[in-house]
Amino acid sequence: MREALFIKRNADKWKQYQHENTDNPDEQADRFITLLDDLAYSKTFYPQSKVTRWINGIAVHTYNKIYQNRKEKYARLRTFWVTELPLTIRKYHPQLLFTFAFFALSVFIGVVSSSTDPAFVKGILGEEYVAMTEDNIANGDPFGVYRDDDRFSMFMAIAFNNIKVAFRTFAYGIFFGIGSIWILFYNGIMVGAFEQMFFARGFGWQSILVIWIHGTIEILSIVIAGAAGIISASGILFPGTFTRFQAFKKAIRDALKIILALVPLFVIAALLESYVTYLMSNNVAGKKGIYLPTWLAAGILLLSLTFMVWYFVWYPILLEKQKKKLEEDTPLHPDNALETLLLSNPEPTL
């Protein structure tokens, strides 16, 4: 049979299978068997034809419809983390870069201000906290604040507080992004002042190993939450070709994906702070009992940093490149492919 006649006899059926879904399992099975027969014939006689790729695509779609109910829940979850969220993050990399640069500048301002004016630290961190830290340093236990006998309660309090700060940072973005920027600025100042306080007292590098075991994920997640706030504001300020309300809804939906994905990261950070950071603080204070070796603390810190950079920066870029390549290699839309085939072949005759 000539290819054009094969297409003409089956085109309506293929279009129906492609565009008209059915929930009847018997009909789905019949469709799949019919498609396999057509595909086998097409691969035998027209192996390089676009119609073969078209039938194959419809057959794959039908197969997925038959089996998707078995693993829909887990497949959807996997798709979100592996594809959907990284591509969403990639779309907003400029906002993420802006918030990171702004936060880094805020940290620098906190460091410089604290080093030039010792009273600045008390104004930012609070006199009570600074006094407690100075007492701990005097007692040879500079990071005693991280040791709590009730570590589970500590974990719950830290996780809840960090998630609350992240959602507030995101929510304040509705005020044209000013609220999110202010929270990032204040937190950056606090981080800079906090680190300068320990460096000025000779515990700078120890503070890096102790604090940033959990702080790497925690602080970078706060920065990403700030980016989510900026994303929601961009929908209001820069609607593009959409109406302002449509752009805002789209931006909020994307920002919510990002902010909800941060929740498990804050839980991990709280676990590290409650159950791992205190072990390193034991090491610094020379306490007896279980402590964390320096090499392991550095390894956890580097692993956390590598994951955050990979998942939120590098992997989304790679995924976008793969997506573009796949789109470039994908054949014409099935309807267009069919039209091209019919026009390029003479009218079939029996």
Q: Would you write out the chain's pLDDT as a tens digit for each of its 350 residues?
A: 788 888 888 888 888 888 887 777 778 778 878 888 888 888 888 888 888 888 888 888 877 776 655 555 567 788 889 999 999 999 999 999 999 999 999 999 999 999 999 889 999 999 998 899 889 888 888 887 776 668 888 999 999 999 999 999 999 998 889 999 999 999 999 999 999 999 998 888 888 988 999 999 999 999 999 999 999 999 888 887 788 888 889 999 999 999 999 999 999 999 999 988 878 876 665 665 567 788 898 999 999 999 999 999 999 999 999 888 876 665 544 444 444 444 444 433 33
pLDDT score recorded for residue 269 = 96
Same domain, 65 and 191: no
- Decide if 334 is inside a domain: no
Closest of 87, 103, 308, 309 to residue 226, by C-alpha: 103
Same domain? 256 vs 316: yes
The closest of 76, 64, 69, 14 to 39, measured between CA atoms, is: 14
71 and 134 fall within a common domain: no
* Co-location of 63 and 96 in the same domain: no
In degrees and rounded to multiples of 5, residue 333 shows phi and psi of -55, 140
Residue 36 is part of which domain span?
3-75
Task: Answer whether residue 69 is part of any domain.
Answer: yes
Q: In Å, how far are 141, 147, 242, 281 from 276, measured between CA atoms?
A: 16, 10, 48, 9
Find out whether 235 and 250 touch, Cβ atoms under 8 Å. Answer: yes
Q: Percentages helix, strand, coil for the chain, rounded to the nearest 5?
A: 85, 0, 15
Same domain, 170 and 212: yes
pTM, two decimals, is 0.73
Query: Are 124 and 69 within one domain?
Result: no
b/e for 330-339, b at 16 or more Cβ within 10 A? Answer: eeeebeebbe
Shared domain check, 244 and 163: yes
Kindly state whether residues 58 and 170 are assigned to the same domain.
no
Please name the residue that has the structure tokens 């998707």. 68
Contact 15, 58 (CB under 8 A): no
